[in-house]
Amino acid sequence: MFDAQKANFTLRAERKQAGTWRAGLAQYRMQLATPLVLVSVIALWALLVTWQGYPPFILPSPALVWQKFLLMAADGSLLLHIGVTLLEILLGLFIGLSTAFALGYLLGRHHTLERIASPYIVASQSIPIVAIAPLIVIWMGSGLASKVAVTALITFFPTLVATIVGIRSVDPDLHDLMRSLRASRWQLFWKLELPAALPIIFGGLKLSATLSVVGAVVGELMGANAGLGYLVNLGRGLLDTPMMFVAILLLVVIAQALHFVVATLEARLLHWQRV
């Protein structure tokens, strides 16, 4: 009987080890897939330019874009434009997300206020950002403030909706339990509502983080003298397509970095969900 139990225990351990090995192999394959896809896209891009013989002002080769990047980085101008766009993005995100979270919590807690404010919020978001951005530039000028305002506006709605839905997803029985334990308003928020709503809120934060890049670029396209959106406009005017590609690819990198930061923060704060 002891031998049978020992054999059964050994079999379970071997199965667990095999499952862990398979999970590690699957994770390794996923990590390897991303750079392989990137290399494949660059290779296809280079082959397309070579086979079709596109001139650089139509579709530059990856090598030409890389050369343009090195040239712009060498004189220090590229770093300045990246810094301007990053400042607009971060300020817009801070204003948009903090406002959205505060208002979303208020509307999530008070249904009557949500019903009153909802039509106006939806109406404000039904206007395309490219349509209202010129007005914002006229009202606030072509400086930093207008870019930050456009970025804040485009990042506001996803986080607002996610916060409202997250706060309302809290189990009412848990609210009653916390009140029966004489929890304060702050304890109710910090111990119950925020942890329960965070998984949904982070979904809105990821969307807002990537949209913030769009907001900053739209603001810069309406009028600017610095920034990656300005480089796109400048490259278009000069028919310098490699410059446009450099700016666009850097915007993609910034968006990916912002998404990664939010996803990492989510993994650290919501590690209990994986237990």
- Please list the pLDDT of the chain residue by residue as tens digits (275 residues): 445 454 454 545 555 555 555 555 556 566 677 778 878 888 888 888 888 888 888 889 899 999 999 999 998 889 999 999 999 999 999 999 999 999 999 998 888 888 898 888 888 778 888 888 999 989 998 889 999 999 999 999 999 999 999 998 888 888 777 887 777 788 888 888 888 889 999 999 999 999 999 999 999 998 888 899 999 999 999 989 999 999 999 999 999 999 999 999 998 888 766 54
- Spatial distance between the Cα atoms of 99 and 233, rounded to a whole number of angstroms: 31
Question: pTM of the entire structure?
Answer: 0.83
What is the rounded distance in angstroms from the CA atom of residue 175 to the CA atom of residue 98? 24
CATH code for 62-274?
1.10.3720.10
Both structure tokens of 131:
């349509």
Distance (Å) of CA 266 to CA 24, 28, 100, 106, 170: 22, 21, 18, 23, 19
Amino acid at 51: W
- The three-point CA angle 125-126-129 to 5° equals 70
d(CA 216, CA 248): 13
